[in-house]
């Protein structure tokens, strides 16, 4: 496929064109879906990833639930978590163009992939996202941490080290927010759903082949394939941390899958494929070492509708 045998696909020169507002013309888009239903489904990142007041940062009409963010890289005291897996934001090199704070540039163009730090509209500093809960009327500052910091600031716990960090302990400013498809200004509202939802893109062909080469013991070729994708994420293609046979192990392979395809609904499957999903720790997850969790239970409603279905083992 890379040689053009099955179609004239190729990698984009920049990371974001395949997600952009004209991605229906992208040579990297192998499978995209566009329909009225898909338009509704595309809205979930905007309704769940972003804060209630993120419309101020975007300079766009938006309604959000402040529901999701990336797994944190740092504990409440600011120390990096030591698990080999996870810490997604920290795994992006500081020179990675994707690590810039998101900014819509107009005319269907954007840069950066994250909402992080002070939430001041980069195009109009007068527009600011303010808190509505723990930090009411204060400028929101998204941090790469999750904890009830207000408990410490209010003197309810003696030290940051006493704060818990788990999926139930966040505040309204917790976590870095992901944005892979552009959010245009209100003035360009008519094009806000013009991009096709990306199901499969050509970069996945490179990474799949790289993993096959790595498993076959061909680390040189695996590194070459990954680096072909990575280099576009840096100014002038100068990657300061390329993959090479000396640093390519199963964890680096999983990190490369994670940062390239973050938010594209494949992480769980990648971890299962590498036998890491139930055997490794990350953030607030402790390894269960119970393989039953590699499969979901079959819902009772599905089994009621088909008596031939048998529940997965141990559920």
Q: Are 238 and 69 in contact (CB under 8 A)?
A: no
Q: Are residues 129 and 208 in the same domain?
A: no
Question: What are the residues facing 76 on neighbouring strands?
Answer: none
User: Could you tell me which residues come within 8 angstroms of residue 50 by beta carbon, excluding any fewer than 6 positions away?
Assistant: 62, 64, 66, 115, 177, 179
What is the total count of domains within the chain? 3
Question: What are the residues facing 74 on neighbouring strands?
Answer: 80
Q: Are residues 156 and 54 in the same domain?
A: yes
Q: Are residues 51 and 139 in the same domain?
A: yes
CA distance 243 to 263: 22
Q: Are residues 240 and 156 in the same domain?
A: no
Distance of CA 212 to the CA centre of its chain: 24
**How would you write the pLDDT of the chain (315 residues) with one tens digit per residue?**
677 777 789 999 999 999 999 999 999 999 988 766 656 566 666 677 899 999 999 998 777 889 899 999 999 999 999 999 999 999 999 999 999 999 999 999 999 999 999 999 999 999 999 999 999 999 999 999 999 999 999 999 999 999 999 999 999 999 999 998 888 888 888 888 788 889 999 999 999 999 999 999 999 999 999 999 999 999 999 999 999 999 999 999 999 999 999 999 999 999 999 999 999 999 999 999 999 999 999 999 999 999 999 999 999
Cα angle for residues 97, 99, 253 (degrees, 5° grid)? 90
Q: Are residues 58 and 108 in the same domain?
A: yes
CA distance 101 to 95: 12
Range of the domain at 288: 266-315
Q: Is 254 within the bounds of a domain? A: no
The label of the residue with tokens 């990698």 reads: 11
Q: Is 227 within the bounds of a domain? A: yes
Q: How many CB atoms lie within 10 A of CB 190?
A: 8
pTM: 0.93
Residue 120 DSSP class? B
Q: Quick one: pLDDT at residue 274? A: 98
Q: Quick one: pLDDT at residue 41? A: 60
Q: Quick one: pLDDT at residue 44? A: 62
């Amino acid at each position: 496929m890379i040689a053009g045998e099955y179609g004239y696909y190729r990698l984009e020169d920049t990371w974001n064109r395949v997600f952009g507002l004209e991605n229906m013309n992208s040579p990297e888009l192998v499978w995209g879906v566009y329909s009225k239903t898909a338009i509704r489904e595309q809205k979930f990142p905007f309704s769940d990833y972003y804060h209630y007041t993120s419309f101020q940062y975007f300079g766009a009409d938006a309604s959000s639930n402040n529901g999701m963010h990336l797994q944190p890289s740092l504990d409440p005291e600011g120390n990096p978590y030591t698990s080999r897996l996870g810490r997604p934001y920290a795994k992006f090199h500081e020179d990675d163009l994707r690590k810039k704070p998101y900014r819509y540039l107009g005319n269907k163009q954007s840069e950066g992939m994250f909402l992080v730090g002070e939430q001041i509209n980069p195009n109009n500093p007068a527009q600011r996202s303010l808190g509505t809960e723990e930090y009411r009327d204060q400028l929101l500052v998204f941090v790469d941490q999750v904890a009830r910091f207000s408990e410490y600031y209010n003197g309810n716990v003696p030290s940051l080290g006493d704060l818990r960090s788990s999926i139930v302990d966040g505040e309204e400013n917790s976590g870095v927010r992901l944005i892979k498809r552009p959010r245009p200004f209100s003035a360009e509202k008519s094009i806000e759903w013009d991009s096709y939802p990306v199901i499969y893109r050509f970069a996945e062909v490179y990474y799949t082949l790289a993993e096959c080469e790595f498993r076959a013991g061909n680390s040189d070729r695996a590194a070459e394939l990954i680096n072909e994708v990575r280099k576009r994420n840096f100014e002038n293609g100068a990657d300061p941390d390329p993959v090479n046979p000396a640093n390519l192990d199963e964890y680096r392979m999983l990190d490369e899958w994670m940062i390239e395809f973050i938010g594209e609904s494949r992480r769980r499957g990648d971890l299962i494929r590498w036998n890491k999903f139930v055997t490794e720790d990350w953030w607030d997850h402790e390894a269960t070492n119970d393989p039953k969790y590699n499969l979901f239970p079959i819902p009772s409603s599905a089994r009621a509708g088909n008596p031939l279905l048998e529940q997965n083992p141990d559920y």
